[in-house]
Amino acid sequence: MNTILSKDEKIQKLQKQLKEKEWDIQQLKKENTNLQEVVEKLSRLLNIFCNPHTPPSKQMLNQKRNKDKICKKLGAPPGHRGATRITPKPTSTKLHTLEKCPQCGGKIRKSSEILKRIIEEIPQQYPAEITEHFMQTGICERCGNVVAESDLPEEGDFGKNMLSHVTLLRFEDRLPIRKVVGSLKRQHNIKVTHTTVLDITRRVSNKLRVKYEQITYELKRAPFVHIDQTDIKVGGVTYQLWVFVTQSCTLFIIRKAGYIDVMKTVLGKNYKGILIGDGLETYRQYTDLIQRCWAHLLRESADIAEKHKSAKVLHEKLKKLFEKVNNVTNEDPPDKRQKLYNKCIAEMTQLIDYANSYKELRKFAVKLSHGLKHWFTKILYPFIDATNNRAERALREFVVLRKIIGTLRNKKGTDIVETILTMIATWKQRGLDAFSIMRASI
C-alpha cells in the first residue's frame, strides 16, 4: 500500500537528503584536499630523482626502455683483435716434484718432459718492519744548540710509508675507517684504532697544507676555471664544498660563508680569467666573463622536449648551436669567430622568441635569455670548454666519499678532507704517483 506524504513531510525528506549530499560533498572536498597534498609531496620527491640534472646514479625511476631496440649479439664483433696481458718475467723459479701418484699412490718414474707455468702471487702476509732509530746529537759551534737530524716524521710512531698508505686507503680507495683498520690487520698485522686512523690523516693533512696554499695561489693566475659545488654536513649544519678545476690543478674548499665571499676568497676580488659553470647567480655577480655549461642546457631541453611537442624543434636547434660552439678552435681567425658569435646570438634570440610564444616554454625561455651572452663565450676564447664536465667529474669523487663518511664533525675534519682531496686530485691531474709524492711531502 503506497503511503501518501504530506507537503511538509516531502519538504523534510528533501531537506534530509540535501544535508546528506552536503555532508558527502564536504567529505569529498576533504579527501580531495588531502590527495592534492599527497600528490604535491610525491611530485617534489619525484622531481629530486627525475629531473634533467639528476646524476645517473639516482635516475633509476627515470630509465627509459626502448622496446623497439634491436638486441645485438653479446661479445666482440667479428674480426676484433683481442688484447692479451703481457706475461711478466719471473723473479724466481720453483721445481715441483712428485714421489707418489696423486691418484693411486704408486711410485713415480721421472720423465724428461717438464711443464711450465708463470704465476704472479702476493705474500700471504707482509708484516710491518719495526725499527728502533738512534740519532746522534751534536752541539753547534756557532749557536750552541744541541741538534739531531733524521728523515723520520716529526710526530708519532709511524713511518712515511705507513702514513701515506693509510691516507690513500681512506681518501683514494674511499674505505670506511673500520675497513682501513681491517686492511692493516690483514695485510701487515698492524693493530690500530679508529682514532689512530683519523689522527694519521690529520698529520698528513698538516704536512700537505703548504702545498695546498700554493695551489690556491696558482688558481688565481689561471686563465680559466671550472666551478661546481655541493652540500655537506659539518656538525649537523649544512656547508658547501666547492671544487675549482683549472688546466693543471684541482682545489676543494669547504665553507659556510656566502657564495660571493667564497669566490672572492679563492679567486680574489679582481679575477681576470673565465668562469665555466652552471647558471648560479653568484657567478654573474662576481664577473661578466662566463661560459655557461651547455651540458646542463641540453639535458634540460631534452627533458622538456619529451613532455611537450613544441620543444622538440627548440631542442634540435640548440643541439646544432652547440655543435657550432664546440667546433671552434684557436686556428679560426678572430674576425671569423666574432662573426660567428654575432650570428649565434641572433639565432639564440630567435629561439627565445619562439619559446616565449608557448606557455609551457616560457620558463625555459627566461633561462635562455638570462644567459644569452654567456652561452657563446667559447667562440671568442676557443681554449676553454663549452661544458662544465671537468668540475662535475672532480666533484663526483667527493660525492661517493660523502656517502661513506656521512658527515664531518668539526673544522679539523673539513681541513683534512679539503687538503687531501685537493692534493690527490691535483697529482692525478698532473700524471704523478700519489703515493711517491705524498711520501716525499711528509
Cell numbers for 279: 647558471
Taking the C-alpha atoms of residue 381 and residue 294, their distance in angstroms, rounded to an integer, is: 15
Q: What is the pLDDT along the chain (442 residues), one digit of tens a residue?
A: 556 667 777 788 788 888 888 888 998 998 998 998 888 888 777 776 676 666 655 555 545 544 455 566 677 777 777 777 788 889 889 888 888 888 888 888 878 788 888 888 877 767 888 888 888 888 888 888 888 888 888 888 999 999 999 999 999 999 999 999 999 999 888 999 999 999 999 999 999 999 999 999 999 999 999 999 999 999 889 999 999 999 999 999 999 878 899 999 999 998 999 999 998 899 999 999 999 999 999 999 999 999 899 999 999 999 999 999 999 999 999 999 999 999 999 999 999 999 999 999 999 999 999 989 899 999 999 999 999 999 999 999 898 888 888 888 888 999 999 999 999 999 999 999 999 999 999 8
CATH code for the part of the protein at 217-290+388-432: 3.30.420
Taking the C-alpha atoms of residue 402 and residue 233, their distance in angstroms, rounded to an integer, is: 9
Looking at residue 65, its pLDDT comes to 46
Looking at residue 5, its pLDDT comes to 65
Hey, how many other C-beta atoms are within 10 angstroms of the C-beta on 220? 14
Looking at residue 69, its pLDDT comes to 52
Three-state SS at 137? strand
Hey, how many other C-beta atoms are within 10 angstroms of the C-beta on 57? 10
Pairing of strands 224-234, 146-148: unpaired
Nearest to 245 by CA among 72, 425, 79: 425
Across the chain, which distance is largest between two alpha carbons, in Å? 133
Per the CB < 8 A criterion, the answer to whether 211 and 422 are in contact is: no
Phi, psi of 212 (to 5 degrees): -60, -45
Cell numbers for 218: 696558482
Residue extents of the structural domains in the chain: 217-290+388-432, 294-380
Cell numbers for 400: 661517493
**Cβ partners under 8 Å of residue 192, min gap 6:** 181, 184
Looking at residue 128, its pLDDT comes to 85
C-alpha neighbours within 13 Å on the C-beta side of residue 319: 11
Looking at residue 148, its pLDDT comes to 82
Looking at residue 100, its pLDDT comes to 86
Check residue 8 and report its DSSP letter: H
DSSP secondary structure string, 83-136? --PPPPPPS-------SB-TTT-PBPPP-S-----------S--PPP-------
Taking the C-alpha atoms of residue 314 and residue 351, their distance in angstroms, rounded to an integer, is: 7
